[in-house]
Amino acid sequence: MNYNLLIENLTNPALLFFVLGIIAVYLKSDLEIPPNSSKFISLYLLFAIGFKGGQELSHEKFSIEIGWLMVFGIFISLIIPVYTFLILRKKLGVYDAGAVAAAYGSVSAVTFVTATSYLESQQLNLHGHMVAIMALMESPAIIMGLLLISVFNKEEGEKIKKRTAIKHSFTNGSVLLIIGSLIIGFLASDKQAEGIKPFTNDLFKGFLAIFLLDMGITSGRKLKAFFSFGWFPILFAIIIPLINGCAVAWLSQIVT
């Protein structure tokens, strides 16, 4: 094991700010990020990663491989929610299982942003088309999660209208912003992009750290409810991502 890499990951400022948020809750501190500021930061991160991805994409030549990767991304965003939902339904309610399943099928913007930041710290460049794939995976996973809830929900008075759900999944602010930023970044010239580079690049890691601090505070407040379900959600959160990651890494070799 590369202990230096392990220590470097555990001492990453972004991770430590997340831990600080959890500690603040347990110390009953009044530390909090104002809701409006939190929303602005999350929108900024989506904007920055989308715009940078669009810029990278504008320098890439579209190929069959990229096309297959996009199809593969949509495929796994539809399949993963199905089996994760069926597993979660053994212990959780329909709505909780559907929400978590949709989150596992899509690519969490927070996870993507954090992973991108880590790759950049290791001098590893992410191809711009991966941002496009991330954006494409959001809506199918949300739609599948909502459809699963609609199918398995037995309460007639709380049925989800499929047309409304599908429309919302495409017009959702986060999805719209990441796709819009991607397109704008793709259309902008290098000279035009240079003008806002300090905002999209230089401030990125600082905003990411504050955002994860806010996520730590939010998570800390939810931990009691999380632990009330026993060991099942903890084991699920540890094992399923490992299985998904290994399976997708293996399958992606076939696609590429």
Contact predicate 139/169, CB 8 Å: yes
Crossing angle for the helix pair 162-171 and 173-187, to the nearest 10 degrees: 40
Kindly tell me if the per-residue pLDDT of 86 is higher than 80.
Answer: yes
Alpha-carbon distance of 222 to 3, in angstroms, equals: 32
What pLDDT score does 109 carry? Answer: 66
Interval 132-153: pLDDT, tens: 777 777 778 888 888 888 788 7
pLDDT tens digits, 106-121: 876 667 776 777 777 7
Task: Tell me the pTM.
Answer: 0.70
pLDDT at residue number 160: 61
Q: Report the mean per-residue pLDDT for the chain.
A: 81
182: nearest Cα among 103, 107, 129: 129
Mean pLDDT computed over 85-113: 83
Best-predicted range by mean pLDDT (71-75, 107-111, 176-180): 71-75
Residue 1 has pLDDT above 70, yes or no: no
State the pLDDT at residue 24: 92
Model confidence pLDDT, tens digit, residues 8-48:
667 778 788 989 999 999 898 988 888 888 888 888 888 88
How many other CB atoms sit within 10 Å of the CB of residue 98?
28
Q: Report the amino acid identity of residue 169.
A: S
Describe the chain by its helix, strand, coil percentages, rounded to 5.
80, 0, 20
Task: Return the C-alpha torsion angle 176, 49, 142, 87, nearest 10.
Answer: -170
Res. 158: pLDDT tops 60: no
